[in-house]
Structure 1
Amino acid sequence: MSKPKYGVLSGSAGSFDDESPEPRHKEELTRAEADIHHSCARQNRPGIYIWVLVLLLTILIFVLGIQIQVGDFRASGSRHFKAGNCGKTMEEARDKGCVMDLISGSWVPLECYDEQLEKQFLGEADWQWFSDQDGQHELSEEFIRETGGPNPYFVTKEYHNLHCAYTWMKLHKAVLLNGPIDSHIGNYKHTNHCSRSMIPIDEVEKKAPSAFYHIFAKCDLPQNSKCWSFLHMVFSLTDP
């Protein structure tokens, strides 16, 4: 019996490729998924841009609203208040209708005088005023109020500490009510001076170590005084 003969199949019908069709199929699927992903991303971009634009517009409107409110606050007060001053001498101060404010120790226009707060301050203790630091020559309240006293006159450490506390109360009250404040209390240098002078120091002090010099203040709204420059620094506001 003869052996069967095997021949090589010719033509493409009976041939086998070296590569399997499965990897090519996976590659085609990966490309299709990528195309779908990019298509979805392109479709979502306009929505993202819209949300970002809305957020930026909201922030801009909020900032502009704050600036407008601050501007209205300052402008409204400035339009309805006329600043006053007390000149440079006691005679000039009295001629202008100014009074001696025992809280600040300065001559102030009547618009900046808080009689009720001054009464509260004077009721804190039996205060004394002296013409010398040793406290040997006492001055009356009436004399200080009428003439401003000698330049300077002297008070106790306790008096000065309460003076500082009440000037801060007066300043805070003016800011809250958008009311006027005198240029002495409104000056940030005075606040800095009071803050430092209230730090306790171990040293032998005289009976009346604190000196009050003659001061003739102006009267204006807090936002127009030097104290407002400190608030500008805190809140990043700028003067017009």
Structure 2
Amino acid sequence: MRSLRSFNRYEIKYLVPSDQIPALRDEIAARMDADSHGAEGGYGVWSTYYDTRDLRFYWEKIEGLKFRRKLRVRHYGDRTNVGDDTEVHVEIKQRVNRVTQKRRVSMPYRMARELCDGRRMVERDPSERAFVEEVLELISLLDLRPVAMTGYQREAFVGRDADVGLRVTLDHRVRGRDRDFDFAADAENRLIVPARLSVVEFKANERVPYWLTDLAARMNMSVVRVSKYCQSVEAFGRAPRSIFHIPENIAEERHAL
């Protein structure tokens, strides 16, 4: 049985027009290895986010609090094939100053819904029990409920040699919905980021290597403060569009600059 997994990383995000992705991919692939799960076009990433009635986690992100967190249930792969026994990940992602921390456990989807929606303790390995209790306490004390879902196609690359710990992800066709939160539900998912844009992230344990920041500069990539969760909340009118919202005409605006 798997034990609790934890990650501490620095993350830098960019928005990249789709016509620049092939050149970026070629440069990255020359220095990094493809993720073992991301060959031949990548894989789907689907997440259900939990928040309070007044969207506490959303506002913590928008206001840029130095300590903030969010709870989500995540599935990697084809969401239409998700059933009760499909493995998913219950995850707390939090930001402490500039460091992103993630802790998660894997469990069957049925058990994840029992924990997060039914608000009941589930039987877990002793190494995972404290984290699961923390999740249950967070849900119960803050009265969390599913608020938004996001999904996208991800290509991922991992560092080699001196760049061990480095990870680069290219997320395409970022979609979302604000209801019918079962992963396999026959529900409409709407683009929440223009299809002509991809979200690119550099993730490193210590620092992003110079060759990668130089590549971003050469390709005129601009750092953005974007959250797929916040983008979904705003796209469906759950909150006013913030200064960080990605407008539909952003690609045209950038080409005009």
TM range (shorter): under 0.3
Q: Relative contact order (C-alpha < 8 Å, sep 6+): which is higher? A: 2
The TM-score normalised by the length of structure 2 is 0.20
Q: Which has a greater percent of strand?
A: 2
Instruction: Give the structure with higher Rg (CA).
Output: 1
Q: TM-score, normalised by structure 1?
A: 0.21
